[in-house]
């Protein structure tokens, strides 16, 4: 069985900041590394979402063409993933095959009449004679009354379509008047999938994080809106369907084929043929997992899901969606336009990346907004990671003696510890915060027990060495550099360690790399 992990392709209107990293990208990486360590098949993939109108608005502010901005940002994002240790198996390019994959997904739905024609009214700028959708329009969310862009409200997660945004204003030309103007477009009538969506979500109660389930309940309490498949704007993939001349595809309708293309890119990188890779989402044995920001839950959890359902069982449906909330920087929202942010690459330049990953795990916004603070990073990594690690380094020193015996009691303690840590990795109870916390608890416990042994004149026993070895394997998806030299070879799952009856003492690597000798 292969687990297909998707972190949403970021909009290439800039590099990834720490808020992005603390959201889906680190979580997906840690989960993927855990599965790889257990010897399971996994393909973790992402790409870029070039069709978003946000590319157009950001490019205008930077005085770049949208194409140039996309190309630069896609390179930056890929570099940043590498620098932060987010090891994706595939990063899909936005190329001709991408566009072909999108059309191969949508055209059967068009031909089978799954889309319908609607004449709808959109906000319109009469000065520039342009329709305003998505990132091109701002206003007030009709559900929660927060400031919102078109299509979706980041604050409450509810969609808004057509003229639903209150007091619409052009983002790029805020002084221009905005009026309503009709256009005939293709829509995807979500209400047709109500029964399937309700049955699907009845199975997820208690399995997924509560906020996304709350949103879905709120959405299902009213008729589901029509989802616009095409938009009468110019940025995006041109719609090839007769009657939509001059329109483009809504960027959000690309989500599923884009993700399939991401998985396919990962599959091909892993040695699958293009045909095998393209069919990964058609394998009923495959397990599909998304990590994403809560603000995207409506698309991934409703629209995209219904689009998969519209294909009548051809594709696998997501097993678990793991959403995260917003991360704040010093108690204010990350903001690219105000420059209130830390780029992810800068953080890993300033702080050893194991420490950065540990702090982000400890504080990431799993259920509600949480905060990144530079002073808290210093304090928490010192107290909860560096100090206990240094304590272990003092006690656990290989003295050249051979393997030490591990007793059944030592194996038992390692198993109990492993069970608690594995619960942090299991998707239904997935928590990077608990993972970081539990790691610290056991680093401190092993330090304490080694301290007590020393006080009685003993070096750490085989039982303690065994537990330390198991703990470091369970820490390895998060602390990637410090543990790299200790891991079993790729072919052997770490769980094989649990049964070992002897252990050879090893040198515990430093958490902070030693400065290179001049
Ligand atoms: Zn709202």
Residue 295 alpha carbon to ligand 1 centre in Å:
10
C-alpha of residue 160 to centroid of ligand 1, in Å: 9
CA–centroid distance, residue 158 to ligand 1 (Å): 6
Q: What is the mean pLDDT of residues 209-225?
A: 97
Tell me the whole-structure pTM to 2 decimals.
0.96
Whether pLDDT at 80 is above 70: yes
Between the CA of 156 and the centroid of ligand 1 the distance, in Å, is 4
Strand partners, 372: 329
Token code pair at residue 401: 């003696």
What angle separates helix 210-220 from helix 194-204, to the nearest 10 degrees? 150
Cα–Cα nearest to 46, from 99, 4, 96: 4
pLDDT above 90 for 164: yes
Q: How far apart are CA 42 and CA 425, in angstroms?
A: 14
pLDDT at 516 over 60: no
Q: Is the distance from CB of 518 to CB of 393 less than 8 angstroms? A: no
Both tokens of 188, joined, read 């995807």
Residues 508, 442: Cα–Cα separation, whole Å = 15
Integer Cα distance of 110 and 230 in angstroms:
12
Q: Would you call 46 helix, strand, or coil by DSSP? A: strand
* pLDDT tens-digit series, residues 123-155: 999 999 999 999 999 999 999 999 999 999 999
Q: Say yes or no to pLDDT of 214 above 80.
A: yes
Could you tell me the distance, in angstroms and rounded to a whole number, from the CA of residue 103 to the centre of ligand 1? 31
Mean pLDDT, the chain, rounded, equals 95
Distances (CA, A) of 405 to 290, 410, 502: 43, 9, 4
For residue 516, report the distance from its CA to the centre of ligand 1, in Å.
51
| Residue 492 structure tokens | 């052997």
Radius of gyration of the chain (CA): 25
Q: Which two tokens stand for residue 512?
A: 């902070």
pLDDT of 338 strictly over 90: no
Long-range contacts of 232-240 (CB under 8 A, 24+ apart): 232/122, 232/131, 232/183, 232/185, 233/53, 233/130, 233/131, 233/133, 233/136, 235/51, 235/53, 235/55, 235/56, 235/66, 236/51, 236/53, 237/51, 237/99, 237/102, 237/103, 239/186, 240/103, 240/107
Mean pLDDT throughout 67-89? Answer: 96
Q: How far apart are CA 183 and CA 122, in angstroms?
A: 7
Q: What is the pLDDT of residues 383-414, one digit of tens each?
A: 999 999 999 999 999 988 889 999 999 999 99
CA of 147 to the centre of ligand 1 (A): 8
501: CA distance to ligand 1 center in Å? 57
Question: Nearest Cα to 354, choosing from 483, 242, 195?
Answer: 483
**What gap in Å lies between CA 513 and CA 48, rounded to an integer?**
32
- HEC string of 453-470 equals HHHCCCCCCHHHHHHHHH
Section 461-477 average pLDDT: 97
User: What would the mean pLDDT of 179-186 be, rounded to a whole number?
Assistant: 98
- Tell me the torsion sign for CA atoms 88, 90, 94, 98: negative
Alpha-carbon gap, residue 289 to 187, rounded angstroms: 27
- pLDDT band of residue 518 (cuts 50, 70, 90) is very low
Instruction: Report the DSSP beta bridge partners of residue 323.
Output: 292
Gap from CA of 211 to ligand 1 centroid (Å)? 14
Residues 6+ apart with CB under 8 A from 69: 12, 13, 55, 58, 59, 62
145 CA to middle of ligand 1, Å? 6
The order of strands in the sheet holding 287-293 is 90-91, 41-46, 2-6, 287-293, 318-324
Distance from Cα 270 to the centre of ligand 1, integer Å = 41
pLDDT value of position 102: 98
Q: Is the dihedral of CA 5, 278, 8, 308 positive or negative?
A: negative
Residue 412 CA to residue 415 CA, distance in Å, equals 5
Inter-residue contact 10 to 16 (CB < 8 Å): yes
Cα–Cα dist 77/83, whole Å: 10
Q: Could you tell me the two tokens for 100?
A: 């072909």
97 Cα: distance to centroid of ligand 1 (angstroms):
35
| Residue 265 DSSP label | H
Per-residue pLDDT band at 337 (split at 50, 70, 90): confident
Residue 289 in 3-state DSSP?
A: strand
In whole angstroms, what is the distance from residue 9 CA to residue 297 CA? Answer: 14
Strand partners, 124: 131, 179
CA of 155 to the centre of ligand 1 (A): 5
pLDDT at position 400 is 86
- In the prediction, which pLDDT does 487 show? 81
Least confident of 86-90, 399-403, 488-492: 488-492
């Amino acid at each position: 069985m292969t687990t297909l992990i998707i972190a949403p392709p970021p909009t290439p209107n800039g590099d990834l900041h720490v808020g992005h990293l603390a959201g889906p990208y680190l979580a997906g990486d840690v989960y993927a590394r855990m599965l790889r360590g257990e010897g399971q098949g996994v393909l973790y993939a992402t790409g870029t979402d070039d069709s978003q109108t946000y590319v157009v608005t950001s490019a205008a502010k930077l005085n770049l063409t949208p194409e140039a901005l996309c190309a630069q940002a896609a390179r930056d994002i890929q570099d940043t993933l590498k620098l932060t240790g987010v090891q994706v198996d595939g990063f899909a390019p936005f190329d001709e095959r991408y566009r072909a994959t999108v059309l191969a997904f949508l055209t059967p739905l068009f031909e089978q009449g799954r889309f319908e024609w609607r004449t709808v009214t959109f906000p319109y700028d009469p000065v520039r004679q342009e329709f305003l959708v998505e990132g091109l329009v701002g206003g007030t969310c009709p559900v929660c009354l927060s400031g919102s862009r078109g299509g979706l409200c980041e604050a409450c997660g509810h969609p808004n379509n057509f003229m639903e945004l209150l007091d619409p204003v052009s983002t790029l030309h805020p002084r221009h008047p905005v009026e309503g103007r009709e256009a005939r477009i293709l829509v995807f009538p979500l209400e047709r999938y109500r029964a399937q969506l309700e049955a699907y979500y009845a199975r997820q109660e208690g399995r997924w994080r509560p906020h996304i389930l709350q949103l879905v309940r709120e959405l299902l309490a009213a008729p589901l809106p029509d989802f616009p498949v095409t938009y009468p704007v110019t940025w995006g993939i041109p719609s090839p369907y007769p009657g939509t001349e001059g329109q483009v595809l809504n960027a959000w309708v690309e989500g599923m084929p884009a993700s399939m293309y991401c998985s396919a890119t990962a599959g091909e990188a892993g040695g699958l043929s293009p045909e095998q890779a393209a069919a990964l989402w058609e394998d009923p044995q495959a397990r599909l997992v998304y990590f994403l920001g809560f603000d995207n839950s409506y698309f991934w959890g409703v629209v995209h899901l219904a689009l998969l359902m519209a294909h009548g069982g051809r594709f696998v449906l997501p097993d678990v969606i793991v959403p995260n909330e917003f991360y704040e920087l010093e108690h204010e929202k990350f903001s690219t336009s105000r420059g209130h942010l830390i780029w992810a690459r800068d953080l890993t330049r300033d702080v050893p990346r194991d420490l950065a990953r540990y702090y982000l795990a400890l504080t990431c916004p799993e259920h509600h907004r949480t905060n990144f603070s530079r002073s808290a990073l210093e304090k928490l990594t010192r107290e909860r990671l560096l100090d206990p690690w240094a304590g272990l380094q003092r006690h656990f020193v290989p003295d050249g003696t051979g393997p030490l015996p591990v007793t059944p009691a030592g194996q038992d303690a390692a198993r109990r510890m492993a069970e608690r840590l594995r619960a942090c990795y299991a998707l239904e109870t997935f928590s990077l915060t608990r993972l970081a916390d539990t790691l610290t608890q056991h680093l401190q416990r092993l330090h304490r027990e080694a301290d007590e042994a020393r006080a009685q004149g003993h070096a750490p026993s085989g039982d303690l060495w065994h537990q330390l070895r198991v703990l470091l394997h369970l820490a390895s998806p998060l602390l990637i550099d410090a543990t790299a030299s200790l891991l079993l070879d790729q072919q052997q799952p770490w769980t094989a360690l649990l049964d070992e009856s002897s252990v050879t003492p090893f040198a515990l690597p430093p958490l902070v790399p030693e400065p290179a000798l001049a």
